[in-house]
Chain A
Amino acid sequence: MLEISFLEQTLLLYPERALYHKDQQTLLISDLHLGKSATFRASGIPVPEGSDDADLQRLTQLLEQTSADRLLILGDLIHAKAGNTELLHNKLNHWRRKHRELQIVLVVGNHDVSAGEIPAEWKIQTIHDDLENPPFVFSHHPRENHSYYNLAGHLHPKIFVRVDQYKSMKVACFYFGISSGILPAFGSFTGNALISPECNAKVYGIMDNEVVRLPQQILKKGQHSV
């Protein structure tokens, strides 16, 4: 875990791909894509089950570590309608019963729009607009030119790092650009997009289960500009 101070707020960056906003006692995650393997199986592609359980377990550990009161999900909770199954409902009902007191807020993402109803038992408050919470504004898609600094998801950012001629690699990262910060995708069955960092961006890579600030000179450009 890496503690950083940003806009006079204390943020803890966890290598489990979550951000803890200490001042608000809120755990932030983005892009879970639950039920993705079920979506694939529904179309005849035999992908094994297991990542949902692993992700929920990781989430439990994070909640225990941080003792957060509130969980804020920056979109894409469920992957698709075909993955919004009984199996998933049972899993989440069970999980929710273990975290009764937790307040859960979902800023709706592009996948959520077509993923069907979120069961009432999960007690998740859904927000269709951007969520303003100074000094931040939370959204699924990254926002520019907002009066507050934006924290978002959607991109599943990964950065190309070239250490020297012997080693280059791609690592998932927390990205803090000029107008918005992007969280890595929380779900383990998710792809990534190689991003092109802006000039003064701060990039924190997830390497060997640790969050490390990556110096600018070893970052290479990807296809996706932020």
Chain B
Amino acid sequence: MKKVQPILKVQQKWSRLPGNDILLVEATKLQKQFQVTFFPFAGRLVHEGLAALVAFRLSQRHHLSLKTTANDYGFCIQSNKSISLDELLIRKLLTTENLLDDLLECMNVTELARRQFREIARIAGLVLQGYPGQKKTARQLQVSSSLLFEMFTNYDHENLLLEQAQREILEGQLELTRLMNTLQRLEKLPLHYCQTKRITPLAFPLWAEQLHAQISSESWKERVKQMAESLKSDA
């Protein structure tokens, strides 16, 4: 404890110490980046789900590109544009209202379900893996689980395997029950929102962690078009 005292002091000076009795949210504007860090202390798995949810809800309000990271004591959302936050908005981002719908929608946007479907497709025998030493399976039967996911979504969207993928993500990856409990707990806590000039010691590991998930509601076509245009004018 003694060893971390200096770090905690810096944390207290720049922002404040997070804890069980408050919800600390820090916003930091960096050179080319804007970062919001939440400290709910709910465990990594729940934070991953929360980060995806909050990022999704933010991206619904503004055209933004976001990256999320999570660890055991908090999660952080990074954006290429500055986000104007206030306490009311933060409460809205963390509401239990519409939770299931938002999560399901978020799953589609982040393609979580598509990735989960890979495992399911294998177990269901849709994707032929072959056995070690066996000759390659018939070439015309090779298919990626992601393509199958598309086929099912487009032409058989009530398929039980799709439902299974959704359920596995909600419970296994997003920890729906614990997520719900956490949100309910956070709703009762006083919120401390603070804008810091620098990344605080506790936010640092989250900032440093490499990209975990990306979510975007910007039109990439426009961006690419602009790039192509600028290339043309340079040439």
Could you tell me which A residues sit within 8 Å of B by CB distance? 36-37, 39-40, 43-51, 54, 79-80, 82, 111, 161, 163-167, 169, 188-191, 205, 207-208, 210, 212-218
Contact = CB atoms under 8 A, between A and B. Distances in A.
Contacts of A205: 224
A212 B140 contact: no
Contact of A48 (B144, B155, B227, B231): B155
Question: Binding site of A, secondary structure by majority: helix, strand, loop or mixed?
Answer: mixed
Contacts of A217: 227, 231
Interface of B: 65-67, 80, 125-126, 128, 138, 140-144, 147-148, 150-152, 154-156, 159, 211, 214, 216, 218-221, 223-225, 227-228, 231
Contacts of B228: 212-215
B141 A45 contact: yes
A40 B143 contact: yes
Contacts of B227: 163, 215, 217-218
A45 B152 CA distance: 12
A79 B140 contact: yes
B141 A40 contact: yes
A4 to B, nearest CB: 13
Given A43-B138, A218-B227, A49 B126 contact: no
B224 A51 contact: no
A166 B231 contact: no
Contacts of B138: 43
B231 A215 contact: yes
Contact of B151 (A47, A79, A216): A47
Given A39-B140, A43-B138, A166-B67, A218 B154 contact: no
